[in-house]
Chain A
Amino acid sequence: MTMATDHPVIAVRDITKVYGEGDTEVRALRGISLDIFPGGYVAIMGASGSGKSTLMHILGCLDVPSSGRYLLDGMDVSRLDDFALSVVRNRKIGFVFQSFNLIPRTSAFANVELPMVYANVSKEERQERALAALVKVGLGHRGDALPNQLSGGQQQRVAIARAIATNPAMILADEPTGALDSVSTGEVLELFEGLNEEGRTVIMITHEPDVAARARRLIRLRDGLVVEDTTHRAVVAGFGAERSAVR
Chain B
Amino acid sequence: MNLSSVRIALRGIVANKLRSFLTTLGIGIGVGSVIVLVAVGSGSAVASRKSLEALGSNLLTVRTGGFGFGARGGTQSATYSITDSDVTALENKQNAPDVAEVVPAVNVSSESIVYNGATDTPSTISGTTTNFSSVRNYPVQWGSWFTQQQYDTHANVVVLGLTDVKDLVGQNAVGSALVGQQVLIGGSSFDVIGVFKSKGTNGFQDQDSIAIMPLTTARDTFVGNNGTISGVTVQAKSAGRATAAQTEVTDVLVAQHPGSSSTDFSVLNQASALQAVSTNNRTFTVLLAAVAGISLLVGGIGVMNIMLVTVTERTREIGIRKAVGARHGHILTQFLVEATLLAGIGGVLGAVGGIALSAFVKIDNVVPVVEPYSVVLALAFAIGVGLFFGSYPANRAAKLRPIDALRYE
Interfacial residues, chain A to chain B (CB-CB below 8 A): 57, 60, 62-63, 82-83, 86-87, 89-91, 95, 97, 101-106, 114-115, 117-119, 162, 166
* Given known A104-B317, A105-B11, contact A114–B406 (CB-CB < 8 A): no
Contact, CB under 8 Å: A162 / B324: yes
A103 pairs with B403, CB closer than 8 A: no
Q: Is the CB of B402 within 8 A of A118?
A: no
Contact between B325 and A101 (Cβ–Cβ < 8 Å)?
Answer: no
A119 CA to B403 CA, complexed, in Å? 21
**Contact of A114 with B403 in the complex, beta carbons under 8 Å:** no
Told that A86-B325, A101-B316, A119-B325 touch, could you supply 10 new A-B pairs with CB distance under 8 A? A62-B323, A89-B322, A89-B324, A90-B325, A95-B324, A104-B317, A114-B321, A115-B325, A118-B325, A166-B325
Please give, as numbers and ranges, the residues of chain B lying within 8 Å of A101 by CB-CB distance. 316, 319-320, 323, 406
A60 to B321, CA, bound (A): 14
A105 CB contacts on chain B under 8 angstroms:
11, 15
**B315-358 interface code vs A (CB 8 A; 1 in, 0 out):** 01101111111111010000000000000000000000000000
Chain A residues lying within 8 Å of B322, measured Cβ to Cβ, are 86, 89
Is there a chain A Cβ closer than 8 Å to B172's Cβ?
Answer: no
Q: Note all chain B residues with C-beta closer than 8 A to A97.
A: 406
In the bound complex, do residue B403 and residue A118 qualify as a contact, i.e. CB atoms below 8 Å apart?
A: no
> Given A104, A115, A117, which contacts B4 in the complex, CB threshold below 8 Å?
A117
- Interchain CA distance A87-B321 in the complex, whole Å: 12
**CB neighbors of A among B214-231 (8 A):** none
Q: Name the residue in B15, B316, B319, B406 with the highest tally of chain A Cβ atoms < 10 Å from its Cβ.
A: B406
B215 to chain A, nearest CB (A): 83
Tell whether, in the assembled complex, residue B325 and residue A91 are in contact, meaning their CB atoms are under 8 Å apart: yes
Please give the residue numbers on chain B whose beta carbons come within 8 Å of chain A beta carbons, in ascending order.
4, 11, 15, 316-317, 319-328, 330, 402-403, 406
Distance in Å: Cβ of A194 to nearest Cβ of chain B? 22
CB neighbours of B316 from chain A (8 A): 101
**Contact: B402 with A62, CB < 8 Å?**
yes
Q: From B322, B324, B328, name the one whose CB has the most chain A CB atoms within 10 angstroms.
A: B324
Assuming A63-B403, A89-B323, is B328 touching A83 (CB within 8 A)? Answer: yes
Q: Top 7 A-B pairs ranked by shortest CB distance?
A: A90-B325, A115-B324, A86-B327, A118-B325, A101-B320, A62-B403, A62-B402
In the complex formed, the residue of A with least CB distance to B316 is A101
Q: Are A103 and B320 in touch, CB under 8 angstroms? A: yes
**Closest partner residue, chain B, to A102 (CB atom):** B320
- Given contacts A101-B316, A103-B320, A105-B11, A57 and B325 within 8 Å (CB-CB): no
Given contacts A63-B403, A106-B11, contact A118 B327 (CB under 8 A): yes
Contacts of A82 in B (CB 8 A): 328
CB distance from A97 to the nearest CB of B (A): 7
Nearest Cβ distance between residue B154 and chain A, in whole angstroms?
Answer: 90
Please, how many angstroms separate the alpha-carbon atoms of A166 and B322 in the complex? 15
| Distance of A87 Cα from B403 Cα, bound (Å) | 16
- Determine how close the nearest CB of chain A comes to the CB of B43; give it in whole angstroms: 46
In the assembled complex, the Cα of A110 lies from the Cα of B405 at a distance in Å of 21
- Nearest residue (CB) in A for B330 is A118
Minimum CB distance partner of B322 in chain A: A86
- Alpha-carbon separation in the docked complex, A104 to B328 (Å): 21
Chain B residues near A89 (CB, 8 Å)?
322-325
8 Å CB contact of A60 from B15, B323, B326, B330: B323
Chain B residues contacting A162 (CB-CB under 8 Å) are 324
Q: How far apart are the CA atoms of A62 and B322 in the complex, in Å? A: 9
Residues of B contacting A95 in the complex (Cβ-Cβ under 8 angstroms): 323-324
| CB within 8 Å for A118 and B11 given contacts A101-B406, A104-B317 | no
